[in-house]
Amino acid sequence: KAGVTQTPRYLIKTRGQQVTLSCSPISGHRSVSWYQQTPGQGLQFLFEYFSETQRNKGNFPGRFSGRQFSNSRSEMNVSTLELGDSALYLCASSLTGDGETQYFGPGTRLLVL
Amino acid sequence: GDSVTQMEGPVTLSEEAFLTINCTYTATGYPSLFWYVQYPGEGLQLLLKATKADDKGSNKGFEATYRKETTSFHLEKGSVQVSDSAVYFCALSGRNNDYKLSFGAGTTVTVRA
């Protein structure tokens, strides 16, 4: 089976712009989660989707949003980018999400200038 | 809420040395526990997991035992190789319908030839 794929792998944006990141889960996985990884804060949970419904959201401002499509693919959007949004954004998928192994993609590295 | 406390690094070892990375957790109920590894420029890969007390997860010479009495899941490897140089993350999934992984801060391990 193909693993979790994320596009793009690298992105450079300027402050105030918005960005959309994409994630395709492992075939058959219906839960998709997003995490932000930074040197200062480590790995932080953004949100989780299952069957197009957001089931949980981390402690991030409303500028961070996401959605899931009927084929389980997911996107996350960050509006009005700030310098502090520079990070590695990781997507993970699992069958149903609770207590299961989450399989991670390679991440999208976002640099905000 | 759920949390993971992980031994701070960095850790530098010689090849064939013994590696231990301590991990303790706080969670209600019976979480699933994981060790993930991250190589430079990559996403997280599952190293091993355990889903109930006294379970031992093992993979590639690494082992960790789920100890409920001490709320610990320490990672060990008897003889490390240069290729084991990476960042190691301890994580838990609460299985309490919050659908997320809580991560430790990560431990950077460098193995010298």
Per-residue pLDDT tens over the stretch B15-32: 999 999 999 999 988 899
CA B81 – CA B19 distance, rounded (Å): 10
Torsion region of B54: left, alpha or beta (phi above 0 gives left; psi -120 to 50 gives alpha): left
End-to-end alpha-carbon separation of chain B, Å?
A: 41
Q: Are the C-beta atoms of A19 and A10 separated by less than 8 Å?
A: no
A25, A48, A90, B87, B102 from A53: Cα distances, Å:
15, 8, 19, 32, 21
- Measure B44 CA to nearest chain A CA, in Å: 6
Say if residue A21's pLDDT is above 90. Answer: yes
pLDDT class for A5, splitting at 50, 70, 90?
Answer: very high
Cβ of B100 within 8 Å of Cβ of A58? The answer is yes
Q: Are the C-beta atoms of A36 and A87 separated by less than 8 Å?
A: yes
CA A86 – CA A34 distance, rounded (Å): 15
Q: Are the C-beta atoms of B77 and B85 separated by less than 8 Å?
A: no
pLDDT of residue A76: 98
pLDDT of residue A82: 98
**Position A109, amino acid:** R
Cβ of A99 within 8 Å of Cβ of B51? The answer is yes
pLDDT of residue A97: 78
B79-99 mean pLDDT: 91
The residue in chain B having the minimum alpha-carbon distance to the alpha carbon of residue A89 is B43
Greater confidence (B62 vs B40) lies with B62
Say if residue B102's pLDDT is above 80. Answer: yes
Cβ of A90 within 8 Å of Cβ of B43? The answer is yes
Say if residue A32's pLDDT is above 90. Answer: yes
